[in-house]
Amino acid sequence: MLRKLTLIAAALATLAAASPALASGKAKEHADIAYSFEGPFGKFDQAQLQRGYKVYREVCSACHAMKLLSFRNLGDKGGPFYDKKYGNPNDNPMVKQLATEIQVPDIDTETGDEMTRPAVPADRFPHPYKNDYAARAGNGGALPPDLSVIAKAREGGPEYLAAYLTGYEAPPAGLTVPAGQHYNAYFPGDVSAGWAGDKHHAPPGGFVAMPPQLADGKVTFDDGTKSTAHQQAVDVAAFLMWAAEPKLEERNQMGLAVMVYLILFSGLLYMSYRRVWKNESH
């Protein structure tokens, strides 16, 4: 029996190994970050999510939308501004305050004209541009991607995002960076077009339209954490992971209960099986 289970486990290990094998591996390997939400008992670090939200709000949101998120999500269980006094996040004063700071487009119901008003928790995060054409026009032709699920939409997840955000290295000698582009060692692209040397030994990484955004001291953290570019990158990546997978904590908690139940239930069934088959050879 054990042998068969081992066989099944081996087959599954092969399966799991096949998935990461899909990554192309032309970029620099990103560093491992010990995030609090990793592993079966992982939880988000609320202070980190708050710092991350601040980085998003003050830096990223100038160009990047997060159209799947509403302000109320910030006060959801497990969210950056969750307060157990306010089961309904729409009542959370912190969330209300954060929403009011942002203007969102609306229609004046008296006149039918377009207008803006301070957001309420039920509002979605506003788009920084009126449409994709405006977004491209403002960014040298490149469209800044929506960040709602970006942490799940990139191989390597938040660790890759953090590495990417601080991965703007000086281009190695012999590499010509096209105008309006920037060299990033962690971006899985192809730099061979700008590479003067041996085609088989082109440097890792790729060219991206976004210039480096994070810098030491660019964002002031309210909790007194030293605001290095690295810290900003790690925190905003954690925030983006929460945004992409807001039910992670709930999932881990339920997973524990389910595992305990299933293991006990399997044990009971195994004992029943032994008992039923006790006098029968097979």
Residues of this chain that bind another protein (CB under 8 A): 1, 4-5, 8, 11-12, 14-16, 18-19, 21-22, 24, 40, 67-68, 73, 145-146, 148-150, 152-155, 244, 246-247, 250-252, 254-255, 258-259, 262-263, 265-266, 269-270, 272-273, 276-277, 280-282
- Calculate Rg over the CA atoms of the chain: 24
Smallest distance from another protein to CB 209, Å = 14
* Shortest Å, Cβ 132 to another protein: 11
When the beta carbons of 188 and 232 are compared against another protein, the nearer one is 188
In angstroms, the CA 27 to CA 97 distance is: 41
Q: CB of residue 18 vs another protein: minimum separation in angstroms?
A: 5
Angle between helices 229-244 and 46-58 (to 10 degrees): 100
**Smallest distance, Å, CB 271 to another protein?**
9
Residues 6+ apart with CB under 8 A from 195: 174, 175, 176, 202, 203
Report whether 201 contacts 185 (CB < 8 A).
Answer: no
Beta partners for 206? 184
Query: 137 or 262: whose CB is closer to another protein?
Result: 262
**CB 258, min distance to another protein, A:** 5
Residue 31 or 153 having the CB closest to another protein: 153
Chain-centre distance of CA 221, in angstroms? Answer: 20
Q: Find all residues with CB under 8 Å of 170, minimum gap 6, and list them.
A: 183
